[in-house]
């Protein structure tokens, strides 16, 4: 990503983060992040600004340590992960905290013991929990049964940390959000739900093209329309080229999400004409970027020429996970860990 900073301004940026952190200036201390709806517009912008300051500090090799022992983050994974696993683990360490990674075989969330009991144990040892779960309800149960922040690292309903990183990457690329249109082409899934809410909060237009029967949840579309300046700013269609027309961002995700493997064949059929390829990119704005939360299934939802082409910013997005999540960790976990 661009915008390397001088050591001096990086130090000032870290001082600014430290002050915001000490004063709980975003009023996020102790809160959970299960959905984009857990954030106000100001909190969202404050997190993006914090992420920018933390990125500047990293680029200038200026330490941004906030936490001291015993601040620790538990990372619970019911599903595989590369980006979420690495960026939360490193992000917490870069802020001076510790991490404990718990895979599916280790804790058996809801099977070896109940979700509330897991929460009540963990809060005795750690400052916050990031969890990647099958059912969003497990996150709600964790949150409702302990006093520490719960962070959604992907559920069947939302992927808010991904959306924060996406919004950060978009703002870095375009310098702001005004007048931008996102075209999302593919499955009406967790990634789209959070992106749609976030885009609406930032004042962007979003048009999602999904096959019939694979649209986003109606309640989330409605919530996004309520958050948007104008309800028409959030539109659902079944025509990819219509969604892509004039878009500044063309976004896609896998057609079969983790946990839906049994539906894979039916989904391949249903999504065949929803591939992001050169034809779709040609319908977008001349300066459009291509985005994907990754992992990508090349030749399904995206072709190699788009994924590896000059418009692709998918690895900027991946990098942005680190900066955005450090901002989340900093603002949710306080000085007393
Ligand atoms: N985008 C994302 O969440 O990647 P992982 O599944 O690798 O964590
Ligand atoms: N929709 C995908 C996102 C992976 C990061 C899934 O849930 O598997």
- Of these residues, 52, 293, 316, 323, which one is catalytic? 293
Three-state SS letters, the chain: CCCCCCHHHHHHHHHHHHHHHHHCCCCCCCCCECCHHHCCHHHHHHHHHHHHHHHHHHHCCCCCCCCCCCCEEEEEECCCCCHHHHHHHHHHHHCCCEEEEECHHHHCECCCECHHHHHHHHCCCCCEEEEECCCHHHHHHHHHCCCCCEEECCCCCCCHHHHHHHHHHHHHHHCCCCCCEEEEECCCCHHHHHHHHHHHHHCCEEEEECCCCCCCCHHHHHHHHHHCCCHHHEEEECCHHHHHCCCCEEEECCCCCCCCHHHHHHHHHHHHHHCECHHHHHHCCCCCEEEECCCCCECCCECHHHHCCCCECHHHHHHHHHHHHHHHHHHHCCCCC
Q: Residue 10: pLDDT band by 50, 70, 90 thresholds? A: confident
Task: Determine whether 159 is an active site residue.
Answer: yes
Ligand 1 atom with minimal separation from the 293 CA: 1
pTM of the model: 0.97
Q: Say whether 285 is catalytic.
A: no
> Considering the chain, what is the average pLDDT of its residues?
96
**Of 146, 321, 323, 325, which one is the catalytic site residue?**
321
Contacts of 76 by beta carbon, 8 Å cutoff, 6+ apart: 102, 107, 109, 129, 130, 131, 132, 133, 153
% of the chain with per-residue pLDDT over 90: 92
What token pair was written down for 89?
Answer: 């683990």
> Pocket residues for ligand 1 (CB within 6 Å)?
81-84, 154, 162, 293-295
- Averaged pLDDT for residues 264-289: 98
What pLDDT shows up at residue 73? 98
Query: How confident is the model over 74-122, as pLDDT tens digits?
Result: 999 999 999 999 999 999 999 999 999 999 888 889 999 999 999 999 9
Hey, whose CA ends up nearest to atom 2 of ligand 1? 83
pLDDT in tens, 282-310: 999 999 999 999 999 999 999 999 999 99
Residue whose tokens read 């910013």? 313
Instruction: Compute the distance from residue 158 Cα to the ligand 2 centre, in Å.
Output: 9
Q: All domains of the chain, ordered by start, with CATH? A: 10-159+321-333 (3.40.50.1370), 161-317 (3.40.50.1370)
Best probe residue, ligand 2, of 191, 251, 293, 294 (max atoms within 8 Å of C-beta): 191
Q: Is 253 a catalytic residue?
A: yes
205 is a catalytic site residue: no
Supply the pLDDT for residue 336. Answer: 74
Is residue 193 annotated as part of the catalytic site, yes or no? no
pLDDT (tens digit per residue) in 137-162:
999 999 999 999 999 999 999 999 99
- d(CA 202, CA 162) in angstroms, rounded, equals 15
Question: Which candidate in 159, 193, 267, 292 is catalytic?
Answer: 159
Instruction: Kindly tell me if the per-residue pLDDT of 3 is higher than 50.
Output: no
Q: Which residues line ligand 2 (CB under 6 A)?
A: 154, 189-191, 253-254, 257-258, 293
Is pLDDT at 207 greater than 70 in this prediction? yes
Burial class (CB in 10 A: 0-12, 13-18, 19+), 69: exposed
Cis peptide before 187 (omega within 30 of 0): no
Distance CA(98)–CA(254), nearest Å, equals 32
pLDDT number for residue 274:
98
């Amino acid at each position: 990503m661009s915008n390397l900073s001088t050591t001096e301004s990086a130090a000032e940026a870290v001082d600014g983060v430290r002050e915001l952190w000490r004063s709980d200036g975003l009023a996020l201390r102790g809160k959970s992040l299960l959905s984009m709806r857990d954030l106000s517009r100001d909190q969202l912008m404050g997190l993006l600004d914090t992420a920018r300051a933390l990125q500047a500090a990293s680029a200038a090799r200026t330490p941004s340590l906030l936490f001291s022992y015993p601040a620790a983050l538990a990372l619970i994974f019911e599903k595989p992960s590369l980006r979420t696993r690495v960026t939360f683990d490193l992000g917490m360490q870069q802020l001076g905290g510790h991490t404990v990674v718990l895979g599916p075989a280790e804790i058996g969330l809801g099977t070896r013991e109940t979700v509330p009991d897991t929460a009540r144990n963990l809060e005795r040892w750690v400052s916050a929990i990031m969890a990647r779960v099958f059912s969003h309800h497990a996150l709600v149960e964790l949150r409702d049964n302990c006093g520490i922040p719960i962070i959604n690292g992907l559920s069947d309903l939302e992927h808010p940390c991904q959306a924060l990183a996406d919004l950060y990457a978009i703002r870095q690329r375009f310098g702001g959000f005004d007048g931008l249109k996102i075209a999302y082409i593919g499955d009406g899934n967790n990634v789209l739900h959070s992106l749609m809410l976030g885009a609406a909060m930032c004042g962007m237009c979003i048009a999602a093209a999904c096959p019939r029967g694979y649209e986003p949840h109606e309640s989330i579309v409605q919530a996004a329309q309520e958050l948007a300046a104008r309800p028409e700013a959030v539109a659902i269609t079944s025509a990819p080229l219509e969604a892509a027309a004039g878009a500044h961002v063309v976004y896609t995700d896998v057609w079969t999400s983790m946990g839906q493997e049994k539906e894979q064949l039916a989904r391949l059929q249903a999504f065949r004409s929803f591939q992001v390829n050169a034809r779709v990119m040609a319908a977008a704005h001349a300066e459009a970027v291509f985005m994907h939360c990754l992992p990508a299934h090349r030749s399904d939802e995206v072709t190699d020429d788009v994924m590896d082409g000059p418009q692709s910013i998918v690895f900027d997005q991946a990098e942005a996970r680190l900066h955005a999540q450090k901002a989340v960790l900093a603002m949710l976990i306080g000085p007393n860990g």
